[in-house]
Structure 1
Amino acid sequence: MKTICLYFQVHQPFRFRRYRFFDIGNDHYYYDDYSNESMLAKISEKSYLPTNDILLKLLKANKGKFKVAFSLSGLVIKQFQLYAPEVIESFQRLADTGYVEFLAETNCHSLVALKDKTEFERQVKAHSTTIKELFNQEPTVFRNTELIYSDEMGDMVNKMGYKAMLTEGAKHVLGWKSPNYLYCNDINPKLKVLLNNFNLSDDIAFRFGNQSWNEWPLTAEKYAQWLLDLDPKSEVINLFMNYETFGEHQWKETGIFEFLQSLPGEILKHKELSFSTPSEVVEKLQPISPISVPHPISWADEERDLTAWLGNEMQEEAFNKLYKLLPKIQKCSDPKLCDDWLYLQASDHFYYMCTKYFSDGDVHAYFNPYESPYQAFINYMNVLSDFSLRLNAAVPENTQEESISNLTNMLKEREDKIAELEQSLKKLRAKKTKKQNIV
């Protein structure tokens, strides 16, 4: 019997406003609130809410035979809480069915696993705490940002207490092997590894609405038959995709919602097919072999590597300058600075700086608020420069920085006092003018 593991990533970053060089040191608010709120409202209405509604009906109707898994980044959860609490409630209704698994990840959808083990562990712990509070689940399976994985990361994740990890079934890693089996980490066999069948996932996520595709239109019946026709020895078909596939990447007019509504029923018509959550796959199946991934992979672009985020000098410079601040931020107790630190780490900021076009250009342009990767780099570095000044003031490293910090605070206090006195003066002048007019 083949089991289907259906998993969705749900993430939105906090987008920055146009932050100019002359804002550095003068304006410490970085976010485009209008864009963040309106974007989330649009995606919630077009994608998250209607898809959750469909899934809820399917989960209840199939009574345990249909199951799905999600990872919600800490950043999208924060935006739901700010702008669309009804979306959180709809996910909680899914959780209440008992047929939905929520996975662990880094709290801010960051690339920190590539930089610092301690900070990585802190972010993952914070995210798992949030999932427990909202959905009453303690995650046992881990999904790193954009399915980034390596042997070393897998070992680190298992030592944190997670029993399995999701990643991409990249061709250059699998070779002749099939993604349709359970594997284990090459240096720590205790960690089980689920590999995305990207061909079948992309048929839904990217090709579904493409009328020039030779398999268009894709029906649930046809798709179920494809699953059935896979090698009979296949044990698990992992279908991993962005949740915005439904209603946003593939618009309602493509028939994507009707496809989703019909898919579980068409699959469950065949006794050879079933659904499982990632943790159930790990419990049911034995790994057939270790999978060797000495260098990090991801599910991005044709290369399935890190070049979407760290493929040019701009990305490397921004990434390294960000994490150069880590020793100081670990000493920082200012909640506003700590929040900004999380939002600065979102992988999206580095993705916007990507200069890869060609076949992957359309993917990088989607949801990108910048006209060019160079504009994204300049904007990010301006924000990072101001953040660095604030952090240095809050956590001075030496006497010179402490003096600058004290002087900055004194100037700020004086500016505030001058502003207060100017306001009082305006009020007095207004009163005087009013009295003169009466006379």
Structure 2
Amino acid sequence: MKSICLFFQIHQPFRHRRYRFFDIGNDHYYYDDYSNESIIRNIADKSYLPANKLLLDLAKKMGNKFKVAFSITGVALEQFELYAPDVIESFQKLTKTGCVEFLAETYSHSLSSLKDIDAFTDQVKKHDDQIFRLFGQKPRVFRNTEMIYSDEIGEKVAKLGYSAMLTEGAKHILGWKSPDYLYVNAINPRLKVLMRNYKLSDDIGFRFSDKNWDKYPLTAEKYVSWLEKVGEKEEVINLFMGYDSFGTRQPKEAGIFDFLKALAEQVVKSDTLRFSTPSEVVDELQPISVVSVPHAISWSDEERDLSAWLGNEMQKEAFEKLYAMKEQMARCTNAELHKDWNYLQASDHFFYMSTKYFSDGDRHRSYSHFDSPYEAFINYMNVLSDFKIRLNTHVPESEVENEIALLHRMLEEKEEKIKKMEADLRRLQKTKRQKTTSRKKK
């Protein structure tokens, strides 16, 4: 039987407010709380909550015949805890059914795997700890930000102890080979590689409600017939997509939830198909060969490369300036700075700076809350400049900065003393007035 590996990814960044040049050094709060809460609540109500309710009903009805996997970033989970705790509760209910596997991720959906192994390791460990705290699972399988993968990144992931990694079944990598098998990393064959069947995945994730699509309308019966017609020797069909495909990208009115329910029922009834989690695929199937990926790939855009995040000079400059601070951050013990450092690493900030206005331009613009990629770049660099000032205060880079930091701390201490003295003065004045009033009454 062919395994159907159904995987959903969830990520929402902490979006920055409009942070002006004159805010640098004066205002250290970078986030648009109103937008963040509104977006999380909206997508939770339209997508995550109804989809989780449906999956819970399917799991209860079908038992261990229904399986699904999730990769949820740490920053998304943080926002659920802040703005939509009912989403966390719904995932915890799903977890108790035994049908769900949670995968490892970078905490803030960062590009750290491309730059710094220590920052990458810290992000992954932080995410693992959060998954265990909320859902009681220790992830075995890794899914990198935007499914970014290369032989070298795979080797790093293997050294962190993961048994497998998910990535894109990119045509220019596989050539004549099929994504519907289990592969191994070219450097460390102990790491198994599951490759997304992008055509069948995108039929649901992107084309389901497109009335101009020649296969529209897509029914569960039609889709399962496609799954069953995949070559007899193929062993696993990896259907990987964003969870917001259900209810947001593909609206409820288009019938996407009914489709998901019918799809699960059709697969369970099939004599040739079954649901499996990534870990089950890794445990049960034998890899057929090595997959060689010398240069990093992703699941984004036509090129399936890194150009969505690092394709222009603005993106590269912002990326380099961010990670130029990694050594200082390694010496930093300030909790607030570490929190902002994690949020600053989110790949979304670089995505907003993309100038790809051709085949993928509309999609890039639709995800950004900035009017242009240039505005996104300026805003991010302003935030980064303020962050650098704060970091230099706590972890000076040079003797000059050390003296400046010392003077800055002395000024802060003096300001605190002045505030305390002013408060004491107001208290004494108030006491004196009360005594004067009391004497006059007598």
Q: TM-score by structure 2 length?
A: 0.95
Deviation at 1:416, TM superposition (A): 5.2
Q: Does 1:155 align with 2:155?
A: yes
Which residue of structure 1 lines up, in the alignment, with residue 358 of structure 2?
Answer: 358
TM-superposition CA deviations, 1:188-212 (whole Å, max 9, x none): 1111000000000000111111111
Q: Secondary structure at the match of 1:63?
A: helix
Which residue of structure 1 lines up, in the alignment, with residue 285 of structure 2?
Answer: 285
Provide the C-alpha distance between the structure 2 equivalents of 1:203 and 1:419, rounded to a whole number of angstroms. Answer: 63
Which residue of structure 2 lines up, in the alignment, with residue 232 of structure 1?
Answer: 232
User: Residues 355 and 373 of structure 2 are in contact (CA less than 8 Å); yes or no, is this contact kept in structure 1?
Assistant: yes
Q: Does 1:194 align with 2:194?
A: yes
Provide the C-alpha distance between the structure 2 equivalents of 1:55 and 1:233, rounded to a whole number of angstroms. Answer: 30
TM-superposition CA deviations, 1:96-148 (whole Å, max 9, x none): 11111000011111100111112211211111111111111111100000100
Provide the C-alpha distance between the structure 2 equivalents of 1:426 and 1:307, rounded to a whole number of angstroms. Answer: 60
Amino acid aligned to 1:324: A
Provide the C-alpha distance between the structure 1 equivalents of 2:362 and 2:91, rounded to a whole number of angstroms. Answer: 30
TM-superposition CA deviations, 1:69-117 (whole Å, max 9, x none): 0011000011111111111110011111111100001111110011111
Q: Secondary structure at the match of 2:264?
A: helix
Q: Secondary structure at the match of 1:216?
A: coil
Deviation at 1:417, TM superposition (A): 5.6
Q: Secondary structure at the match of 1:358?
A: coil
Which residue of structure 1 lines up, in the alignment, with residue 251 of structure 2?
Answer: 251
Amino acid aligned to 2:283: E
Provide the C-alpha distance between the structure 2 equivalents of 1:230 and 1:58, rounded to a whole number of angstroms. Answer: 25
User: Residues 16 and 32 of structure 2 are in contact (CA less than 8 Å); yes or no, is this contact kept in structure 1?
Assistant: yes
Which residue of structure 2 lines up, in the alignment, with residue 319 of structure 1?
Answer: 319
Provide the C-alpha distance between the structure 2 equivalents of 1:282 and 1:180, rounded to a whole number of angstroms. Answer: 13
TM-superposition CA deviations, 1:322-349 (whole Å, max 9, x none): 0000000000000000000000000000
Q: Secondary structure at the match of 2:188?
A: coil
Q: RMSD of aligned C-alpha atoms?
A: 1.9
Provide the C-alpha distance between the structure 2 equivalents of 1:412 and 1:212, rounded to a whole number of angstroms. Answer: 63
Provide the C-alpha distance between the structure 2 equivalents of 1:421 and 1:237, rounded to a whole number of angstroms. Answer: 70
Which residue of structure 2 lines up, in the alignment, with residue 32 of structure 1?
Answer: 32
Provide the C-alpha distance between the structure 1 equivalents of 2:302 and 2:418, rounded to a whole number of angstroms. Answer: 58
Count residues with an aligned counterpart: 435
- Among all aligned residue pairs of Structure 1 and Structure 2, give the percentage whose two residues are the same amino acid: 62
User: Residues 314 and 377 of structure 2 are in contact (CA less than 8 Å); yes or no, is this contact kept in structure 1?
Assistant: yes
Q: Secondary structure at the match of 2:64?
A: coil
Which residue of structure 1 lines up, in the alignment, with residue 440 of structure 2?
Answer: none
Which residue of structure 1 lines up, in the alignment, with residue 12 of structure 2?
Answer: 12
Provide the C-alpha distance between the structure 1 equivalents of 2:377 and 2:67, rounded to a whole number of angstroms. Answer: 41
Which residue of structure 1 lines up, in the alignment, with residue 409 of structure 2?
Answer: 409
Deviation at 1:415, TM superposition (A): 4.7
Map 1:12-411 → 2, pairs under 5 A:
12-411=12-411
Amino acid aligned to 1:290: V
Provide the C-alpha distance between the structure 1 equivalents of 2:210 and 2:339, rounded to a whole number of angstroms. Answer: 40
Q: Secondary structure at the match of 2:403?
A: helix
Q: TM-score by structure 1 length?
A: 0.95
Provide the C-alpha distance between the structure 1 equivalents of 2:112 and 2:178, rounded to a whole number of angstroms. Answer: 30
Provide the C-alpha distance between the structure 1 equivalents of 2:47 and 2:316, rounded to a whole number of angstroms. Answer: 33
Deviation at 1:361, TM superposition (A): 1.5
Provide the C-alpha distance between the structure 2 equivalents of 1:97 and 1:21, rounded to a whole number of angstroms. Answer: 51
Name whichever of 333-342 and 120-129 sits farther off. Answer: 120-129
Deviation at 1:407, TM superposition (A): 1.9
Structure 2 unmatched ranges of 5 or more: 438-442
Name whichever of 404-413 and 26-35 sits farther off. Answer: 404-413
Deviation at 1:420, TM superposition (A): 6.7
User: Residues 352 and 367 of structure 2 are in contact (CA less than 8 Å); yes or no, is this contact kept in structure 1?
Assistant: no
Amino acid aligned to 2:230: L
Deviation at 1:26, TM superposition (A): 0.4
Structure 1 unmatched ranges of 5 or more: none
Deviation at 1:268, TM superposition (A): 2.1
Deviation at 1:406, TM superposition (A): 1.8
Provide the C-alpha distance between the structure 2 equivalents of 1:402 and 1:121, rounded to a whole number of angstroms. Answer: 29
